[in-house]
Amino acid sequence: MYRNKPEGLHTMKITKEQRNNLLRIHNKLREAVNYIDDCRDISVSHLRDLDEAICVLHTVGDFRPKKEEDGGSRWYEGWVFREDSGHDD
């Protein structure tokens, strides 16, 4: 795939369904960005699409919020890889 694989780049296998979801979200993101750029405005449906894109990305990428010491999620901060989140599942 890469002749000179960038340091720290990890490969992962994704299913055809996950690829389809990524492509669908990619196209929705492009549409939203084009609309925002053209109109200098954003519609509520684009906000919904952005939220859905975040959900697909964290599902496929297995991203999680960090955990507080008491076990609560720090969802308001940048998310991390599951293995770095403090989640046991």
DSSP H stretches of helix in 1-89: 16-39, 44-61
The answer to whether residue 4 sits within a structural domain is no
The answer to whether residue 6 sits within a structural domain is no
Answer yes or no: is pLDDT of 68 > 90. no
CB of 16 closer than 8 Å to CB of 60:
no
Tell me how far the alpha carbon of residue 18 is from its chain's centroid.
12
The answer to whether residue 7 sits within a structural domain is no
Pairing verdict, β 80-81 and 63-64: antiparallel
pTM of the predicted protein model? 0.68
Q: Please give the average per-residue pLDDT across 36-59, as a whole number.
A: 90
Q: Give the model confidence (pLDDT) of 6-40 as tens digits.
A: 676 677 788 999 989 999 999 999 999 999 999 99
The answer to whether residue 37 sits within a structural domain is yes
The answer to whether residue 11 sits within a structural domain is no
Q: Please give the average per-residue pLDDT across 61-74, as a whole number.
A: 88
The answer to whether residue 2 sits within a structural domain is no
The answer to whether residue 60 sits within a structural domain is yes
Number of domains in the chain: 1
